[in-house]
């Protein structure tokens, strides 16, 4: 890779501010970049590094006003993170010109499976009976696709993913290693003798299009009906999605969050890491849930931010935290009042 | 599947209230059910749907008193959830008449392994030396059964489970994909130079009968002796069970909970999701631990409910939370007192 | 195994206090040990068991002063846990004299991979193109080593581990089953229509020497550059390490902790279980973070202990918790003041 500021501006439909011939051969974080590096500024938290970075070219917001002169050539664009992401796509494609294709002789494919062109099935991958795989589907080594599963065009299933029987995965999805789709929901009926009887989980999981799921996450099958993850949802690593949960379009959920059974998360929500949702509630569209929150009730107001356990409005939760921190002062004020009142009582026997 | 209210009542030993010929061909949640659906009511939270559901047959508590007339035929039983669960078993068996059997030619079985009748070993499964597998054991594709492991009759090991050497799993267990049994406990001895020396983990894991473990959970082997999970325990997904932990009979633990080393959880406990237990404590039988709690001390009282970090009695924790929410009012009362006392002081110079 | 107190003292460079011929044939916890067992005392919490244990030989601190006579022979050493750990190494090696070697015929190895002597590649393991494996590397069954990965001498990769392309793992490392190294970081650029565009993750993961990682953990590859885990780091099970995180030397992190993107954890830190770190912060060396804490800001002071969400100094957090528990008393004091002030006002109309 060897690109000039001018070439980058053309690729990204931006404008150059500085030397258009400044050239880069690698990509680095703004705080670590050396001469010859391309970097970008999207998070204002990193703005001070503008004046110290050795990067040769920087992608910055078009509205950026410099407080001091800087060495790097700037490429100004409306949305630096998005522009940078597009550039990474270009670089990524340069590196990965050839995609895996073909069926490895050490794989297992039941003869009644339906496969279309462009399919890759890696070594030690297992494709069960009646499976339907769309065009350009990539099943990496050691993945397991159970009987009667359907997977849409261009979906990538990485090494070691397990998809239980009857589940459906849409087109243009990416599922990372170690994720389990369709294992039994956690349902047990208590018996009088203290033991539990398993409630069979006869439903499935339905995943829409353009969904990405990270590593080692778990999406349980429904008791009956379907656990549903709709188009454009992005799930991080180590996430728990219980039986009969529904996650609506374009919701993004960070790592280690858990969603209990039958809860419904609205569209365009952003959920931080290590959040917990109790079962049988619903969360309004556009909700933002802060990391480590515990959500115990249905949220009906759309587009609000929530924090804490039990989760309350973001501002309220911060006010409460501040008041808790002020408790020593409050106690001191009460102490002072007690002294004054004692004195007053002595004066007024 | 096509069943009438009368047939369902006979299967479940219940009584019909309404048209005994009402027939169903599918199963649905009460709030989503269409004509021709069977549904059930167990959680009172859903009672209002009784009067709006289009389900044709509903399984309900025998004591249910209707407040309005309804369209569906009712099947009255003592415990609707349990009855429904039994019905699902029947449906499930109708769907899965044939269970997997036989040994796939693309599996690996060390010649000194002991296998009994009804065994299934899927493609790319690995069975190590001296392994003992009981009757009707099902080892699904890509599972790993390490040397000297024993597994009892009728146990199902789903695709990709890994069981390290010397571990023992009882009869009638189910272990879901991605779960790891018997990896090394987390034990390191600090050295003077700041590095850590690994403490070998030479123990094993012993799992009793009728245990179910969800997906991507981790049960570490003991430093020495055994990590023990007793009969009837049910563990959800993504759970951490550290070395030398003991979980007593019929305890149920929800997803993403972690139990630190050498802690002992009593029998018949119910533990919510994302709970953490510190090491070297014991929890009395019948304890209920609310989701996201942090349990830092031994619990000796049996059968109580606990909440929060550090976990306290459920009621106490809710009282504390209410008081924290009342802090603004308390501060206002102190402010008012300060004004009044100031006034009194001015009157009494 | 059959060892006398005298032999153990010689192995551990300790001194015998009691019968040097007392012999043991098994290892047990001090509170469960039977005659013929070896046990040890390191945690003072267990000191009362000294006087009730039936263990025949006990490894204890050399400075231990007995309050009562005891039955067991003592082996006194400076650091009992470390000594015990060394003894376990000896026992472990007696049990595992032979290590796995050779390449199973049912594995997949791309012909351009570079392998050195002592290599083990188990059944159904996958070794991609251009992979470089050092001396005595052990790749257990069903592991996946992606293209262009490098692994140093003596490293053990357990069954089912997945290592994505271009990642580097040092020497003398241990990675347990189900752990995923190098899956894509969680990066998506929001679009105007509410959807998200994937930001390609073109970096890698670099793991140093003598690193141990537990089961089912996830180490994401960097967006660009590297996610870095330095020498001597020990990670437990089910841990999330996001893209571009750096963990410095000899830091130890317990299970289910999550570290968000670009955060840097200093050397010699000790992090409890279920802790969460927000992104883009750095944690000073020697920090101790209590279990379940939420760390939301950079920590600059070295060697301090932190607790709670948001994390504060350990002492401060415990003081705050105590004050919260005292809220009922504080409210009662305010109530009493209100009564007294009312009385005073009535006396001073």
A154-175 pLDDT, tens digit per residue, is 999 999 999 999 999 999 999 9
A106 at the B interface (CB within 8 A)? Answer: yes
**C133 and C272 share one domain:** yes
Residue of C242, C309, C336 to mutate, interface with A, max A Cβ within 10 Å: C309
Residues in A 178-217 with any Cβ partner in C closer than 8 A? 178, 210, 212, 214-216
Residue B162's pLDDT is: 98
Do B312 and B280 have their domain in common?
yes
Q: Which CATH number belongs to the domain containing residue A32 in this structure?
A: 3.40.1390.10
The reply to whether residue A236 touches residue C186, judged by beta carbons under 8 angstroms, is yes
Take residue C343 and report the two structure tokens written for it. Answer: 């009385």
**What pLDDT is stored for residue B1 in this prediction?**
64
**Closest by Cβ to A183, choosing from B106, B158, B210:** B158
- Which pair of tokens denotes residue B211? 């245990």
Q: In this complex, is the C-beta atom of C327 within 8 Å of any C-beta atom belonging to chain B?
A: yes
For the segment B288-326, what is each residue's pLDDT rounded down to a tens digit?
999 999 999 999 999 999 999 999 999 988 888 888 888
Q: Whole-angstrom Cα distance, residue C135 to residue C119?
A: 6
A188 contacts in chain B (CB < 8 Å) = 212, 234, 252
Residues B216, B236, single domain; the answer is yes
Q: Do C202 and A95 touch (CB under 8 A)?
A: yes
Specify the 3-state DSSP secondary structure of B132: strand
β-pair type (B15-17, A312-313):
unpaired
Q: Residue B262: what pLDDT?
A: 96
A211 and A131 within one domain: yes
CA-nearest of A68, A87, A67, A69 to A77 is A87
pLDDT of residue A95: 64
Show the CA angle centred on residue A146, arms to residues A145 and A150, nearest 5°: 70
Q: Is the pLDDT of residue A302 over 60?
A: yes
Whether A256 and C244 lie within 8 Å, measured CB to CB = no
What is the DSSP-derived secondary structure letter of residue B247?
E
Residues C214 and C294 in one domain: yes
- Token look-up 């040994």 returns B103
Number of domains making up chain B: 3
- Per-residue pLDDT tens over the stretch A201-258: 999 999 999 999 999 999 999 998 999 999 999 999 999 999 999 999 999 999 999 9
**ipTM associated with this complex:** 0.91
Same domain, C45 and C134: no
| Tokens at B43, concatenated | 């959680």
State the catalytic residue, choosing from A89, A99, A243, A313.
Answer: A243
Burial C219-229 (b: 16+ CB within 10 A, else e): bbbbbbbbbbb
Taking Cα atoms as reference points, which of C256, A186, A280 lies closest to residue B257?
C256
- Tokens coding A207: 């995943």
Q: What percent of chain B shows pLDDT beyond 70?
A: 98
Q: Which of B184, B186, B161 is nearest to B173 (CA)?
A: B161
Question: Residue B139 is part of a domain; what is its CATH number?
Answer: 2.160.10.10
Q: What is the residue-averaged pLDDT of chain B? A: 93
CB A108 within 8 A of CB B141: yes
> Is A243 considered catalytic here?
yes
Residue C273's SS3 state is coil
Tell whether A282 is within 8 A of chain C (Cβ): no
- Domain end residue (candidates: B51, B83, B99): B99
Q: Which residues of chain C have pLDDT under 70?
A: 1, 94-99, 349
**Do residues B73 and B215 both lie within one domain?**
no
Summary mean pLDDT of chain C: 93
C318 CB within 8 Å of a chain A CB: no
pLDDT score of B95: 64
> What is the domain extent for residue B246?
102-317
Say how many Å lie between the first and final Cα of chain B, rounded. Answer: 90
| Helices vs strands, H then E, count in chain C | 4, 40
Same domain, A109 and A92: no
How many Cβ contacts (< 8 angstroms) between chains A and C?
192
Of C66, C99, C132, the one marking the end of a domain is: C99
Same domain, A183 and A59: no
pTM here is: 0.92
Q: Is the pLDDT of residue A90 over 60?
A: yes
Backbone phi, then psi, for A54, in 5-degree steps? -100, 5
DSSP bridge partners of B127:
B109, B145
Same domain, B292 and B341: no
Torsional class of B133: left (φ above 0), alpha (ψ -120 to 50), beta (otherwise): beta
Give the C-alpha separation, B58 to A284, whole Å: 30
Distance CA A184, CA A261 (A): 12
Q: Report the alpha-carbon distance of residue C155 to residue C180 in Å, rounded.
A: 16
Relative to beta strand A144-145, strand A126-127 is: parallel
Q: Let me know whether A125 and A262 are in one domain.
A: yes
Residue C140: closest CA among chain B residues belongs to which residue? B144
What string of DSSP letters covers B55-109?
A: -SEEEEETT---SS--SSEEEEES-HHHHHHHHHHHHHHHHT-SPP-EE-TTSEE
C278 touches chain A (CB under 8 A): yes
Tell me whether C240 touches chain A (CB under 8 Å).
Answer: yes
Distance, first Cα to last Cα, chain A: 90
Chain-centre distance for alpha carbon B349: 69
Residues of A in contact with B234 (CB under 8 A): 186, 188, 196
Largest CA distance in chain C: 100
Q: Which of B123, B130, B149, B200 to mutate to probe the C interface, most C CBs <10 Å?
A: B200
- On whether both B199 and B265 belong to a single domain, the answer is yes
Residue of C nearest to B178 (CA): C178
Contact at CB, A160 and C160, closer than 8 angstroms: yes
Within 10 Å of residue B193's Cβ, how many Cβ atoms? 8
Q: Are the beta carbons of C137 and C154 closer than 8 angstroms?
A: yes
Q: Which two tokens stand for residue A2?
A: 């060897």
CA–CA dist C198, C187 (Å, integer): 6
């Amino acid at each position: 890779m060897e690109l000039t500021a001018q070439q980058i501006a053309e690729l990204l439909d931006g404008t150059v501010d500085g030397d258009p011939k400044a050239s880069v051969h690698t990509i680095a974080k703004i705080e670590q970049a050396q001469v010859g590096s391309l970097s970008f500024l999207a998070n204002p938290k990193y703005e001070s590094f503008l004046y110290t970075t050795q990067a040769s070219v920087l992608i910055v917001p078009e509205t950026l006003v410099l407080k001091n002169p800087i060495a790097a050539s700037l490429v100004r664009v409306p949305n630096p993170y998005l522009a940078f992401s597009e550039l990474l796509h270009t670089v990524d494609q340069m590196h990965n010109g050839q995609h895996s294709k073909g069926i490895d002789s050490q794989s297992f494919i039941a003869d009644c499976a339906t496969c279309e062109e462009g399919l890759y099935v890696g070594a030690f991958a297992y494709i069960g009976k009646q499976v339907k795989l769309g065009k350009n589907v990539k099943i990496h080594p050691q993945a397991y696709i159970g009987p009667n599963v359907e997977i849409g065009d261009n979906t990538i299933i990485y090494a070691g993913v397990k998809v239980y029987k009857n589940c459906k995965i849409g087109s243009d999805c990416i599922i990372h290693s170690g994720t389990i789709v369709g294992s039994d929901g956690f349902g047990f009926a208590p018996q009088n003798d203290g033991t539990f009887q398993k409630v069979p989980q006869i439903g499935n999981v339905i995943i829409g299009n353009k969904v990405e799921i990270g590593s080692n996450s778990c999406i349980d099958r429904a008791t009956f009906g379907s656990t549903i993850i709709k188009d454009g949802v992005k799930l991080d690593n180590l996430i728990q999605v219980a039986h009969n949960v529904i996650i609506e379009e374009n919701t993004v959920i960070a790592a280690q969050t858990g969603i209990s059974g039958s809860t419904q998360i609205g569209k365009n929500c952003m959920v931080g890491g290590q959040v917990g949702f109790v079962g049988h509630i619903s969360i309004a569209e556009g909700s933002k849930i802060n990391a480590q929150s515990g959500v115990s009730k249905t949220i009906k107001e759309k587009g609000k931010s929530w924090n804490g356990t039990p989760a309350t409005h973001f501002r309220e939760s911060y006010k409460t935290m501040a008041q808790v921190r002020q408790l020593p002062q409050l106690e001191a004020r009460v102490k002072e009042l007690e002294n004054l009142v004692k004195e007053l009582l002595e004066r007024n026997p």
